[in-house]
């Protein structure tokens, strides 16, 4: 009887510990430097990273990151959904509808998928505490 319980426990343990696909951030494919440059030259004017800013016109990069991480914790889904919204910024596609209600929908900025992926990669991998 004890052997049966041990077998069941071991079977559950091995199935629970199945080989999960590890997230692989392909830094070669994503230029984090380019992502920061785009944020710095285009995005920060509306998405100000300074929490002390009294004239907010859009959520901060940190708020955006937290909203996406709350729904899409793995890197690939984060990138996919972030880029999809940037390519087609509609309220129906927004992960932060309350921000759309407060600030309005952002304009489509015309960046390439590669550029948007660089921005998403930078946001995902960076510590956006400020």
* pLDDT per position as a tens digit, 6-42: 443 444 444 444 443 444 445 555 688 999 999 999 9
CATH number, domain at 28? 1.10.760.10
Spatial distance between the Cα atoms of 110 and 108, rounded to a whole number of angstroms: 6
In a domain, 1, yes or no: no
Domain assignment of residue 13, yes or no: no
> CA nearest 118: which of 37, 40, 49, 32?
32
- The pTM for the full model equals 0.74
Task: Give the pLDDT confidence of 88-122 residue by residue, as tens digits.
Answer: 999 999 999 999 999 999 999 999 999 999 999 99
Residue 7 inside a domain? The answer is no
For residue 96, the enclosing domain spans: 23-125
**Domain-embedded: residue 49:** yes
Q: Say if CB 41 and CB 115 are below 8 A apart.
A: no
Q: Among 110, 116, 113, which residue's Cα sits nearest to residue 35?
A: 116
């Amino acid at each position: 009887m004890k052997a049966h319980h041990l077998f069941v426990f071991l079977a559950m343990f091995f199935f629970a510990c199945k080989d999960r696909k590890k997230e692989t951030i392909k830094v070669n494919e994503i230029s984090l430097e380019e992502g920061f440059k785009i944020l710095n030259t285009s995005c920060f004017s509306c998405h100000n990273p300074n929490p002390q800013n009294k004239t907010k016109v859009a959520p901060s990069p940190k708020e955006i990151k937290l909203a996406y991480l709350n729904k899409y914790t793995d890197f690939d889904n984060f990138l996919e959904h972030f880029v999809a919204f940037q390519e087609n910024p509609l309220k129906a596609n927004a992960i932060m509808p309350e921000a759309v209600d407060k600030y309005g929908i952002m304009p489509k900025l015309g960046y390439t998928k590669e550029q948007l992926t660089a921005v998403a990669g930078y946001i995902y991998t960076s510590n956006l505490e400020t």
